[in-house]
């Protein structure tokens, strides 16, 4: 869990309930909530949550390092890949799933995702960085050297001046060619939800 992640009063009780319902789960995460509720922030919040579901549909399970949990033995035997510049949390979950460990995403309870980076960089810049990273993940990009503009430097990051990375769009048809008809149908449904969220910003 990130140092600036916050949890509501009854979050742990809700998580205990979910684990009781799924006692064999090996790793988990939950949907996020962002406390500041402007129209843009609301859209980002919902995009994060539907993005997690999208990866689940595509068989590319993922979680945010802001909050995820796993069995103690797995934390010891499957350390984060510290050689990657971003997405070590995603790779961690994907490796567990590849080894047939179970993974769940719970819609409730929800933890409070920090909006500090969004506020510092600006929503449009963050959305651009996120889109670039997600496309890279879908296309199997190696993040060993390129942080895609998402600098991870602990609290010190927020005291430094921001840089302005470029955001080239990448064609994802290469990935979608390998998806099943059912996966594509679900992806289209999810993208329609995200499109509707985006349109709300301009109403």
Task: Write down the pLDDT at residue 135.
Answer: 74
Residue 80 lies in a domain: yes
Residue 56, Cβ density class (10 Å: 0-12 exposed, 13-18 middle, ≥19 buried): middle
Residue 66 lies in a domain: yes
**Cβ–Cβ < 8 Å for 139, 170:** yes
The range of the structural domain enclosing residue 106 comes to 11-196
Residue 161 lies in a domain: yes
Residue 203 lies in a domain: no
Task: Write down the pLDDT at residue 73.
Answer: 96
pLDDT in tens, the chain (203 residues): 888 899 999 999 999 999 999 999 999 999 999 987 788 888 889 889 998 998 888 888 999 989 999 999 999 999 988 887 778 888 899 999 999 999 999 999 999 998 887 888 777 777 777 777 777 777 777 776 665 555 655 544 445 544 443 333 334 444 555 666 776 666 666 666 655 655 554 45
Task: Write down the pLDDT at residue 190.
Answer: 64
Task: Write down the pLDDT at residue 122.
Answer: 78
Residue 202 lies in a domain: no
How many Cβ atoms are within 10 Å of 164's Cβ, its own excluded? Answer: 8
Q: At a CB cut-off of 8 Å and minimum separation 6, what does 139 contact?
A: 170, 172, 174, 175
Q: List the strands of the sheet with 103-112, edge to edge.
A: 69-70, 27-33, 103-112
Residue 121 lies in a domain: yes
Task: Write down the pLDDT at residue 54.
Answer: 87
Residue 103 lies in a domain: yes
Task: Write down the pLDDT at residue 184.
Answer: 65
Dmax (CA) for the chain in angstroms is 49
pTM: 0.69
Task: Report whether the peptide linkage leading into residue 109 is cis, meaning its omega lies within 30 degrees of zero.
Answer: yes
Residue 21 lies in a domain: yes
Counting the structural domains of the chain, the total is: 1
Task: Write down the pLDDT at residue 167.
Answer: 37
């Amino acid at each position: 869990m990130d140092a600036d992640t916050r949890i509501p009063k009854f979050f742990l009780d809700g998580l205990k309930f979910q684990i009781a319902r799924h006692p064999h789960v090996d790793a988990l995460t939950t949907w996020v909530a962002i406390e500041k509720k402007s129209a843009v922030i609301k859209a980002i919040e919902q995009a994060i949550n539907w993005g997690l579901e999208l990866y689940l549909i595509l068989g590319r399970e993922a979680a945010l390092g802001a909050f995820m949990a796993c069995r103690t033995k797995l934390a010891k035997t499957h350390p984060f890949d510290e050689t990657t510049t971003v997405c070590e949390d995603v790779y961690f979950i994907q490796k567990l799933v590849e080894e047939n460990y179970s993974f769940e995403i719970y819609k409730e309870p929800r933890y409070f995702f920090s909006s500090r980076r969004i506020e510092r960089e600006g929503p449009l810049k963050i959305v651009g960085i996120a889109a670039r990273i997600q496309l890279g993940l879908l296309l199997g990009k190696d993040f060993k050297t390129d942080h895609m503009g998402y600098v991870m430097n602990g609290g010190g990051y927020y005291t430094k001046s921001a840089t302005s990375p470029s955001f080239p769009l990448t064609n994802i048809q290469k990935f979608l060619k390998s998806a099943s008809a059912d996966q594509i149908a679900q992806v289209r449904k999810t993208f329609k939800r995200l499109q509707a969220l985006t349109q709300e910003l301009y109403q």
